[in-house]
Structure 1
Amino acid sequence: MFGFRRPPSRPATPRPDAVTVNGRALPLTIRENARATRMTLRIEPGGRALKLTIPKGLPGREIDAFLTRHQGWLMTKLARVADTGPLSDTSTIPIKGIDHRIVLTGKLRGLAEETEIDGMPALRVSGSPEHTGRRVADHLKRVARQELEPLVRKHAASLGKPVRAIAYKDTKSRWGSCTSEGNLSFSWRIAMAPPFVIDYLAAHEVAHLKEMNHGPDFWATCTALCPRTKEAKRWLKQNGSRLFAVTF
């Protein structure tokens, strides 16, 4: 009786967990989706990570080939997201859509303060230079609360819906969320956006108190609360990654 020996199988190609683009190693998250028929590559907000959705069971070599083919696309897209580096005395930060120059006061204590220096908007920041980012972030959190909470109350009153709680987080993939219990959450980074965009975000999450979806009724409600909804959505699409890219 004759037998045939099977040739040894190739070892499986390991799946990558990072992709190097323009000298930067970006973390790569790979998610299998049984319903996916093709690979979909997404740059996470801020340009600091990548997410790849693939069909279930796809070989690693096909993933490598896909990423190689898309190197040029990644280089082009990521070049538009500036890596600002840590904030310092030479940095600028947008506050409600207006760039403010950061000026260190040299004082150890005190809250950051918006002012004008030589007729230009500035943010005076106290504390040690290595704490500049944290101090600026704390100021943006205060601005976010001051701007969003009155807007949330106004929009919720228009719909006759109660708001149970409002939280502020440094989320990396979404600007806000709303639960059926009336708990709203916002990214405090929205304080860097113009006022009409901040108003849109408040209206968007409050509209979810009435419509827990993104169907036509939801968008009609959102637009009734914030007439500049389309303009604000377009602004976030064009500029949102820049806000997420700021390093604090």
Structure 2
Amino acid sequence: MGLLRGMGLTAPKKPAPKTRTKARVAPTTVSQLRVAGIAQPVEVRRSPRARRLSLKVDGATDTVRVTVPPRVGDAEVAGFVGRHLDWVNARLAALPPRQPFIDGMAVPLLGRSAVIRHDPGRRGGARLVEGPAGLDLYVGGEAEFLNRRATDFLKAEARRHLSALTAETAARADLRATAVSVRDTRSRWGSCSATGRISYSWRLILAPPQIVHYVVAHEVAHLKEMNHGPKFWALCAALAGDVDKPRAWLKAHGAKLHRFG
């Protein structure tokens, strides 16, 4: 790289440029703020990436969240939320009620309904049985542990179903995920890392099959296209078929899935 090709001479070394130290980006900070007219504290996220104030009601956690630039003070945040008080309270009131898993409750399960049957004398884990009237989910142990045990069963079912569906979908595109896991994610239904590890929200097991197929196709498509460009959406549509209706369903009904358990 140091030769002047036309003359066969070596160019004199230039002094090395001074290296500039990158300015450290301040981390996002999270605090709570009481605002008149709202029962719970407002979560304030001060982010160096924020250019304006934005307001959100998180249906998964019942959280009123404001994202603001770092130098915005609490008084300005409170004033901003206060000007949108009617909108915030309307969103909170519209949230579906929370539904812990209890005896006799019907739980959506991949487009079907499974009725929880508490059987105190039953040992071992929960068991799904095809009964004369449909699916029954038998859960043993003390009543106080029913919600947790039903949740554990559904998580295991989600892991089993999503792992198999991911392998099947990836094979259709000549792709392969390096690992599949489930978590109780709140902000996304699935994710795919650069190393090919795919993670899903276990709550997808509560959604209709076509919704689950779309989310799996979405993450499998990321194994090849780590973006949301035209090639990604073309592959996603090829694997899932319709993508618009599932996306609309998740937007309209996704919050309800987070209310279970």
| 3-state SS of paired residue (1:30) | strand
Bigger Cα Rg: 2
Q: Deviations over 1:192-223 (max 9, x none)?
A: 00111111111111100111011222111111
Q: CA 1:65 to 1:169, structure 2 compared with 1: closer, same or farther past 3 Å? A: same
Q: Deviations over 1:53-91 (max 9, x none)?
A: 113311221100111122211222122322325322253
| Percent of residue pairs bearing the same amino acid type | 34
| 3-state SS of paired residue (1:167) | strand
1:211 equivalent to 2:225? Answer: yes
User: What is the TM-score normalised by the length of structure 2?
Assistant: 0.79
Deviation at 1:117, TM superposition (A): 6.3
Query: Structure 2, unaligned stretches of length 5 or more?
Result: 1-29
Q: CA RMSD in A?
A: 2.5
User: What is the TM-score normalised by the length of structure 1?
Assistant: 0.83
My pick for the range that moved more, 86-95 or 166-175, is 86-95
1:17 equivalent to 2:32? Answer: yes
Contact 1:108-1:128 at 8 Å conserved across structures? no
Q: What count of residue pairs does the alignment treat as equivalent?
A: 232
Structure 2 Cα separation of the partners of residues 31 and 150 of structure 1: 41
Q: Which residue in 1 is equivalent to 2:250? A: 236
Contact 2:57-2:64 at 8 Å conserved across structures? yes
Q: Which residue in 1 is equivalent to 2:174? A: 160
Which of 79, 82, 86 is the equivalent residue of 1:68?
A: 82
- Whose RCO is larger (CA < 8 A, sep 6+)? 1
1:28 equivalent to 2:38? Answer: no
| 3-state SS of paired residue (2:138) | strand
Contact 2:113-2:134 at 8 Å conserved across structures? no
Structure 1 Cα separation of the partners of residues 36 and 167 of structure 2: 44
Contact 2:38-2:89 at 8 Å conserved across structures? no
Q: CA 1:26 to 1:59, structure 2 compared with 1: closer, same or farther past 3 Å? A: closer
Q: Which residue in 2 is equivalent to 1:123? A: 137
Deviation at 1:45, TM superposition (A): 4.2
Q: Which residue in 2 is equivalent to 1:57? A: 71
Which of 119, 143, 160 is the equivalent residue of 1:105?
A: 119
Give the AA of the match of 1:28.
E
Deviation at 1:189, TM superposition (A): 1.0
Q: Which residue in 1 is equivalent to 2:209? A: 195
1:81 equivalent to 2:95? Answer: yes
Query: Structure 1, unaligned stretches of length 5 or more?
Result: 1-14
Q: Which residue in 1 is equivalent to 2:60? A: 46
Deviation at 1:116, TM superposition (A): 5.9
Contact 2:33-2:74 at 8 Å conserved across structures? no
Deviation at 1:145, TM superposition (A): 2.4
